[in-house]
A = this chain, B = another copy of it.
Amino acid sequence: MASNFEPQWTEDAPVKGSFRSIFKWGAPDQFKHPNKRLFAMLKDVFQLTDDDFKKKQDEGHEAVVCKHPIKLDQKHIDWFIDVVGKNNVNTDDYSRVKYAYGKTLEEALNLRSGIVKNVPDAVIHPTCKADIKHIVEYCHTEKIPVTVYGGGSSVTLGLQCPRGGISLVMQTHMNRVISFNETNQTITVEAGMMGPEYERILNNAPDTLNGSRKYTGGHFPQSFEYSSVGGWIVTLGSGQQSSYYGDACDLVVSQEYVTPVGEIKTLDFPATATGPKVNDIMKGNEGTFGVLVHVTLKVFRYMPENSQSFAFIFPNWESAVNATREITQSEFGMPSVFRISDPEETDVGLKLYGIEGSVFDTLMRVRGFQPMQRCLLIGQADGERDFAINVKKKVKKVCSEHKAMYLTGYPVTQWSHGRYMDPYMREDLNDYGILIDTLESGVTWDRLHDLHQGVRAYIKGYPQTVCMTHASHFYSQGTNLYFIFIVKNKDIQSFIEFHRGVIKQIEQNGGSLSHHHGVGRLMGPLMEKHLGKSQMDVIRTLKKHFDPKNIMNPAGTMGLDEI
């Protein structure tokens, strides 16, 4: 008999100054809780009872305390105060912890237990490019480590400061529009501008930019609300509509950096044949070459009225993969939102998006689409109206040829509605000792099944695990696989071992170490094995060129040195 019990999911914003206020995902006062179906599933998988959801653990309500002494000389701190002003230099415990932590699960777990490490000595909020220039020059001269903090959504331990020094927070002031060029459809912004502000400005271009029409940036990562434009570029991010708009690297027209050896600004030509493109070389450096200060990006016409959404259910994973491959190679244009879920994710998704128990559910069962076999595809075509209509029409044709059933656009609306909200559930689960984390990888079509099966075998090899997989960024040569895994009751160390095991499986089964999360300190140790020595030597040479004293994001980032 189904119980009506529902856990008392946390509904209060974290206590100010608490550890929880640092690790909680997203807006302090926003929440998304597991719905009843998901809750029932979790109890079932982990063999838990309602009683197991009556007492929360390690909630992190305690006030942040940082026992690591400030090692930076007061004279340096005074120098920073001279440059950016007293209000823009923090040395309090809370700031030092807050700006050393991203959203990696093990960071959250540590903070829940009050474990703090790898903090900067001081947190600096530069007010303009000139500030950054002075600071980087000074730190270069004085050999003070500089770690760049954009939006704070890193899931690769990318913001930690194992060697102390300063954390340079870009989002506080470095968040303005520098210029807008409507003729070229480009905008130049400071790198610390956050996703929602960037999109708000573009969507309202007639008011905000004196534009003749509305625009969109076309970049909507899951972390959209808490990531910065600069962060997208230096970590090679991808948005949920990347299959149409491109990955972050495709959106960059030119960049301006402050590096320890000086400023570097690339040119804004749409194409050139003037030797290796330094603009490309700088993308993805994760702050190890210098500080991205300004960036010029392509923008697109904002035409939401043209969006065409669609969803399909496939009899199995193979048919879903084959259909999406056919779609990417058929040359009728690409959908923007485009995502297929494997059987395990599909069943969870049907719960999450309100399909389970609906008329669609009945129809699926009648038509023989079986749980733990059937696979969900959701998508949306954008662009000019007839283009988008044709994309949807052709997608339907291909899906039908692959035995899929059309589910209308309803599941997309459901998904879209909460598109940035799913990560909010992490804290709820963690409160009851259930760990949920993700890893993702780029892969060619021919290695997709090996990667999927290899990683799943490893994860499901542990008793009582959920392993959901989707592909959500498509290319004619391949896609990505995004693994979401849920495990129960592991201590931090065993979780870390398990987690590193997943990364190894990804690498060994033909996936890239990262499709759009970057490298940070998480993938760093595997970089040389993955890329090979000759490629790593090139990156090291560039690192040495820009940062000969290794002050920029040092200690393990991208595997360039040791933690």
What is the CB-to-nearest-CB distance from A537 to chain B, in angstroms, rounded to a whole number? 7
Q: Is A241 an interface residue (CB 8 A)?
A: no
Q: Is A442 an interface residue (CB 8 A)?
A: yes
- Name the one of B264, B276, B523, B531 contacting A284, with C-beta atoms under 8 angstroms: B276
Closest to A283 in B: B276
Closest to A393 in B: B386
| Interface residue range, chain A | 35 or more
**Which of chain B's residues have a CB closer than 8 A to the CB of A235?**
273
Q: Is A450 an interface residue (CB 8 A)?
A: no
Q: Is A416 an interface residue (CB 8 A)?
A: no
- Name the one of B267, B303, B518, B538 contacting A281, with C-beta atoms under 8 angstroms: B538
Closest to A331 in B: B383
Q: Is A153 an interface residue (CB 8 A)?
A: no
- Name the one of B277, B325, B331 contacting A283, with C-beta atoms under 8 angstroms: B277
Q: How far is the CA of A270 from the CA of B250 in the complex (A)?
A: 13
Q: Is A275 an interface residue (CB 8 A)?
A: yes
Q: Is A453 an interface residue (CB 8 A)?
A: no
Q: Determine if B184 and A274 form an interchain contact, defined as CB atoms under 8 angstroms apart.
A: no
Known: A277-B283, A281-B538. A475 touches B386 (CB 8 A): no
What is the CB-to-nearest-CB distance from A213 to chain B, in angstroms, rounded to a whole number? 10
Q: Is A534 an interface residue (CB 8 A)?
A: yes
Known: A384-B331, A476-B298. A281 touches B276 (CB 8 A): yes
**Which of chain B's residues have a CB closer than 8 A to the CB of A274?**
236, 284, 512-514, 519, 523, 527, 530-531
Q: Is A286 an interface residue (CB 8 A)?
A: yes
**Which of chain B's residues have a CB closer than 8 A to the CB of A517?**
273
Q: Determine if A184 and B273 form an interchain contact, defined as CB atoms under 8 angstroms apart.
A: no
Q: Determine if A383 and B183 form an interchain contact, defined as CB atoms under 8 angstroms apart.
A: no
Q: How far is the CA of A266 from the CA of B530 in the complex (A)?
A: 11
Q: Is A445 an interface residue (CB 8 A)?
A: yes
Q: Determine if A477 and B283 form an interchain contact, defined as CB atoms under 8 angstroms apart.
A: no
Can you report 24 residue pairs joining A to B where beta carbons are below 8 Å apart?
Answer: A181-B444, A181-B446, A184-B478, A185-B476, A265-B532, A269-B442, A270-B443, A270-B478, A273-B515, A274-B530, A275-B519, A275-B558, A277-B280, A280-B280, A281-B538, A298-B476, A301-B331, A331-B387, A332-B383, A333-B333, A384-B394, A387-B387, A538-B542, A541-B545
Given contacts A185-B477, A332-B383, 16 further A-B contacts (CB under 8 A): A183-B444, A183-B445, A184-B446, A184-B477, A264-B538, A268-B477, A270-B442, A270-B478, A271-B512, A275-B527, A276-B289, A281-B281, A300-B331, A333-B333, A386-B394, A387-B390
Question: 7 shortest A-B CB distances, which residue pairs?
Answer: A236-B273, A270-B475, A332-B384, A331-B383, A280-B280, A270-B477, A270-B478
